[in-house]
Amino acid sequence: MEEVSSFAPLHNHHAMLIVKECLEHLPEAYSVLCFDTLFHQTIPQFRRQYAISTPPHKTPVPLVKYGFHGLSYANIRDQMAKELGKAKNEVNLVVAHLGSGGSCCLIQNGESKQTTMGVTPLEGLPGGTRSGTIDPSLIFHHTPDCSDTVKVSGRDITKGEFVLNKESGFQALCGTNNFGTITSRAFPSSSSPDDAPQNEEYMAARLTYQLYLDHLLAVLAPYLSHIFSSPSNSTLDGLVFSGGIGEKSVKLREDVVRHFAWVEQLAGTGGGIDEGRNGADVEGTREITKDGSKVRAWVVETSEEDEMVRMAEQELSSLGK
Ligand SMILES: Nc1ncnc2c1ncn2[C@@H]1O[C@H](COP(=O)(O)OP(=O)(O)O)[C@@H](O)[C@H]1O
Ligand SMILES: CC(=O)OP(=O)(O)O
Ligand SMILES: [Mg+2]
């Protein structure tokens, strides 16, 4: 595990510190490691493979897509199956887990079939301080000494990874990594579109919001079409919003769902976003689109902790403990 720490520099090192503390202070306890990548083992090989040669040196793990937020996706899949009264292996979902790092997952028949994060959590959507997918060559021009290392929290990390993980994303675009702040700057509630402020802060927030929405739609559209066009003619059970941004940003959910209004028009459902449901100040799993919508959208409060408890209980009961 030490060896793979560098693959998720914002996460694995801290996870390793917890593992060490547990081993040291709870030596009698039975430890269960819950991997955030496990849920994505069902992604087909052609989507896991990168079109690059095998490196000449040995790497701790093969350089393929692993995906992350798997604990969250498993928990959301289970919550949605319960909500819909379906078996877990029958649900078809497109899930957006949007937190300080964001990713999306295509879930068909209860299994992950594609996700946006890759060999590390950097690929895919931009995040609070992460670049997300960029032209890989850009970093050599931006930080010519990108393979030199810097010390972060007492360990070495390449300058390139530091820039891409910690000095990019929303923070780099508009000076804050909080999407709530970005939305309130970009859409000040008091002003009409005609007298919206044209200052730098407003413009930067606006650009960040547009960029994020655009990246998100560029992922969600093909994921939805995978479900609608599947040979088994399966139905979409939900477009799910989750994570801090997905659970809290009424505006982003509305803009995403409105983008798919054409699906409702073609199908003649009269469906789409239900402003009352979307804006309601309630907690827990709920649908936010009108009854009869073809793209049924939901908010699901994810719990990676619940999924870890479930995995640990399953492991212990299989051992008769
Ligand atoms: N009111 C809000 N509206 C939109 N986004 C919000 C709001 N409050 C917090 N957020 C976003 O939620 C993010 C945290 O999400 P969370 O899933 O808890 O992140 P983490 O990836 O750290 O687990 C914050 O970084 C912020 O961008
Ligand atoms: C795996 C990952 O990127 O998690 P988070 O988005 O919570 O940082
Ligand atoms: Mg999180």
For the stretch 285-314, pLDDT in tens is: 999 999 999 999 999 999 999 999 999 999
Give the pLDDT confidence of 213-231 residue by residue, as tens digits.
999 999 999 999 999 998 8
Nearest CA to ligand 1 atom 26: 178
Ligand 3 centroid to Cα of residue 246, in Å, is 11
Indicate the average pLDDT of the chain: 94
**Chosen CATH of 32-123+233-318 out of 3.90.1170, 3.40.50, 3.30.110, 3.30.420:** 3.30.420
pLDDT confidence of residue 195: 63
pLDDT > 90: what percent of the chain? 85
The atom of ligand 1 lying closest to the CA of 242 is 17
121 ligand 2 Cβ < 6 A: yes
The confidence band for 14, taking pLDDT boundaries of 50, 70 and 90, is confident
Give the pLDDT confidence of 81-122 residue by residue, as tens digits.
999 999 999 999 999 999 999 999 999 999 999 999 999 999
Largest CA distance in the chain: 67
Which bound ligand lies closest to the C-alpha atom of 166?
2
Q: State the binding site.
A: 97-101, 304
Q: Which of 187, 245, 302 to mutate to test the pocket of ligand 1 (most atoms within 8 A of CB)?
A: 245
Q: State the binding site for Mg(2+).
A: 304
What gap in Å lies between CA 196 and CA 244, rounded to an integer? Answer: 27
Q: How many helices (H) and strands (E) does the chain have?
A: 13, 8
The atom of ligand 1 lying closest to the CA of 98 is 17
pLDDT > 70: what percent of the chain? 98
Give the start-to-end residue ranges of the domains of the chain.
Answer: 1-29, 32-123+233-318
Ligand 3 centroid to Cα of residue 261, in Å, is 30
Tokens at 139, concatenated: 């970093």
Which bound ligand lies closest to the C-alpha atom of 121?
2
Give the pLDDT confidence of 34-43 residue by residue, as tens digits.
999 999 999 9
pLDDT confidence of residue 159: 96
The atom of ligand 2 lying closest to the CA of 97 is 6
Q: Which residues surround ligand 3, an ion (CB under 5 A)?
A: 99
CA distances from 23 to 17, 32, 65, 261, 310 (A): 10, 11, 30, 53, 21
pLDDT confidence of residue 56: 95
Pocket of ligand 1 (CB under 6 A): 99-101, 128, 177-180, 183, 243-245, 248-249
7 ligand 2 Cβ < 6 A: no
pLDDT confidence of residue 9: 72
Whether 112 and 73 have beta carbons less than 8 Å apart is answered as yes
The confidence band for 192, taking pLDDT boundaries of 50, 70 and 90, is low
The confidence band for 191, taking pLDDT boundaries of 50, 70 and 90, is low
The confidence band for 232, taking pLDDT boundaries of 50, 70 and 90, is confident
pLDDT confidence of residue 321: 82
- The residues pairing with 87 across neighbouring beta strands, listed in sequence order, are none
pLDDT confidence of residue 189: 79
ipTM beyond cut 0.95: yes
Helices (H), 144-270: 159-166, 169-174, 179-186, 200-228, 243-248, 250-259, 261-267
Task: Flag the least confident range among 8-12, 71-75, 215-219.
Answer: 8-12
Nearest partner of 197 among 46, 206, 278, judged by Cα: 206
Environment class of 19 (CB within 10 Å of its CB; exposed 0-12, middle 13-18, buried 19+): middle
Q: State the binding site for ATP.
A: 97-101
What CA dihedral angle connects 1, 62, 36 and 223, to 10 degrees?
Answer: 170
The confidence band for 8, taking pLDDT boundaries of 50, 70 and 90, is confident
pLDDT confidence of residue 283: 87
For the cut 90, the answer to whether the pLDDT of residue 147 exceeds it is: yes
What gap in Å lies between CA 295 and CA 274, rounded to an integer? Answer: 12
36 ligand 2 Cβ < 6 A: yes
For the cut 60, the answer to whether the pLDDT of residue 142 exceeds it is: yes
Which bound ligand lies closest to the C-alpha atom of 243?
1
pLDDT confidence of residue 194: 62
Answer yes or no: 36 catalytic: yes
304 ligand 2 Cβ < 6 A: no
For the cut 80, the answer to whether the pLDDT of residue 21 exceeds it is: yes
